[in-house]
Amino acid sequence: MSFFSRLTDIVTCNLTKLLEEAEDPMAAIAQIIREMEEGVAGARRSMQTANSNEQRLQNEIDEHREQVGYWADKARDQLKGGHEDQTRLALVRKREVENLIAGLMQQHEAAASTREHLETTFRALEARLAEALRRQQELKTTGKTTRDTDSTTVTGEESAALMSDDIEDELAALKRELAPKAESAD
């Protein structure tokens, strides 16, 4: 039995309800975790592809900006040499490349937006997977899951996340936020 047909199903699922409705919660959570891991792997590939597309477009824009400079220099040189027709031709080429850059920039913005969306979805999928792994651990140790997902038991996968720079930055920000409050309470 497949629990999820789309990645959004993983993000929006109610694990407690799925497990309560399952005849064999251990088998169900194992299947749910397998499907979530497949979803995370697919999301990671999509995110990497989107990142590559965004970078490719940026590289292409940068190359064309160099061409704009080349055609501008060419136009100056032709004008200094008294070749107005050649100057016009260089300016036409410069304008063509500028128009191409404008189109590429729109594509780049769309690619960046897609990458950001996929990164957000990827992080949400990872969070759901972490929750499912906690639930599986609860089932193994107690034979049941709790509705409370505020478990303080740290799994191996979570320990790596705890050491990330983002978490450390957020922890430091919380400490700064609470420091004045603690001082004023004294």
Per residue of the chain (186 residues), give pLDDT as tens: 566 667 777 787 888 888 888 899 899 899 999 989 999 999 999 999 999 999 999 999 999 999 999 999 999 999 999 999 999 999 999 999 999 999 999 999 999 999 999 999 999 999 999 999 999 999 898 876 555 444 444 555 555 555 577 788 888 888 888 887 655 655
Distance CA 111, CA 57 (A): 8
Model confidence over 139-148: pLDDT tens digits? 898 876 555 4
Does 128 fall in a domain? yes
Number of domains in the chain: 2
Structural domain containing residue 137:
7-153
* Same domain assignment for residues 18 and 71: yes
The DSSP-derived string for 88-125 is: HHHHHHHHHHHHHHHHHHHHHHHHHHHHHHHHHHHHHH
The DSSP-derived string for 30-75 is: HHHHHHHHHHHHHHHHHHHHHHHHHHHHHHHHHHHHHHHHHHHHHH
Q: What is the CATH number of the domain that holds 140?
A: 1.10.287
Radius of gyration of the chain (CA): 27
* Same domain assignment for residues 73 and 43: yes
* Same domain assignment for residues 77 and 18: yes
Per the CB < 8 A criterion, the answer to whether 138 and 146 are in contact is yes
